[in-house]
């Protein structure tokens, strides 16, 4: 989650963020609603997604890496669901499990592409333009800002810890580890409070303006 992260530069990158969001949501809904056993339909959905991968010029190395990590998380839960699935005697365990994994992979691919061809803050912004309530959009935008603050504070605390303990790792010391979490929260909160005050001093009125020419309303 870098603020300066580069996005894939395919022809899809320039499309309005609202269209990207609606098309991806529609695709995921279609995939999830596809009934068990409609293999030709799944094949069509898969080829559509592959076409989008090529058009969007997503990094295949990152895609495969993230996809494998994603599968390892979903596989066990999908198996537990497949084992107790009511249609198991008719269709068979393997195809139920496979279908759940396929649906999840297609949904993953669509949302992964979405997050690769859009700057993250513009994506959150687009949700607001699609009608997400304003307090939630404000929270999202400030959260996005705070994640970097949190990471900076964590780096500072880790550096301070390393320099004081001469690199010795004693994570068994639970009481100090415990204090660390709470202090990390407090420090990043206090810093984001100052950032917020600085934003107010520069005339922030609750609307984040972006260069794509649209304000969050």
Between CA 82 and CA 97 the distance in angstroms is 5
- Residue 120 binds to another protein (criterion: CB under 8 A): yes
Q: Rule CB under 8 A: which of 44-83 touch another protein?
A: 66, 70, 73-74, 76-81, 83
Between CA 108 and CA 132 the distance in angstroms is 22
What tokens appear for 133 in the block?
């309530």
> What is the DSSP secondary structure assignment for residue 92, as one 8-state letter?
-
Q: Which is nearer to another protein, 136 or 158 (CB)?
A: 136
Kindly calculate the radius of gyration of the chain based on its CA atoms and give it in whole angstroms: 22
Using CB atoms within 10 Å of the CB of residue 171, give its burial: 0 to 12 exposed, 13 to 18 middle, 19+ buried.
Answer: exposed
Q: Which is nearer to another protein, 1 or 166 (CB)?
A: 1
Among 3, 133, 152, 176, binds another protein (CB under 8 A): 133
Q: Rule CB under 8 A: which of 171-200 touch another protein?
A: 178-179, 181-186, 188-189, 192-193, 195-196, 200
Least distance (Å) from another protein to the CB of residue 201? 12
| Number of chain residues interacting with another protein (CB under 8 A) | 71
Q: Which is nearer to another protein, 56 or 124 (CB)?
A: 124
Between CA 7 and CA 121 the distance in angstroms is 12
Cα end-to-end distance, the chain, whole Å: 25
Q: Which is nearer to another protein, 74 or 166 (CB)?
A: 74
Among 17, 124, 128, 216, binds another protein (CB under 8 A): 124
Cα-flanking dihedrals φ and ψ of residue 215, to 5°? Answer: -95, 155
Q: Rule CB under 8 A: which of 8-37 touch another protein?
A: 25, 28-29, 31-33
């Amino acid at each position: 989650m870098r603020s300066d992260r580069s996005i894939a530069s395919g022809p899809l990158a320039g499309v309005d963020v609202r269209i990207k969001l609606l098309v991806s949501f529609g695709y995921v809904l279609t995939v999830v609603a596809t009934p068990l056993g409609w293999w030709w339909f799944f094949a069509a959905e898969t080829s559509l997604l592959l076409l989008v991968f090529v058009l969007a010029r997503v990094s295949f190395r990152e895609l495969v890496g993230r996809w494998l990590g994603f599968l390892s998380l979903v596989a066990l839960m999908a198996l537990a669901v497949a084992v107790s699935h009511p249609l198991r005697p008719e269709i068979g365990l393997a195809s139920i499990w496979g279908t759940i994994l396929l649906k999840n992979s297609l949904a993953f691919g669509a949302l992964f592409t979405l997050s690769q061809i859009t700057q993250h803050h513009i994506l959150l912004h687009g949700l607001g333009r699609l009608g997400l309530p304003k307090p939630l959009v404000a929270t999202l935008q400030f959260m996005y800002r705070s994640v970097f603050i949190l990471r900076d504070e964590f780096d500072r605390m880790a550096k301070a810890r390393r320099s004081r303990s001469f690199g010795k790792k004693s994570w068994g010391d639970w009481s100090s580890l415990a204090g660390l979490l709470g202090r990390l929260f407090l420090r990043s909160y206090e810093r984001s409070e100052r950032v917020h005050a600085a934003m107010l001093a520069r005339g922030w009125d609750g609307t984040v303006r972006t260069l794509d020419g649209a304000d969050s309303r």
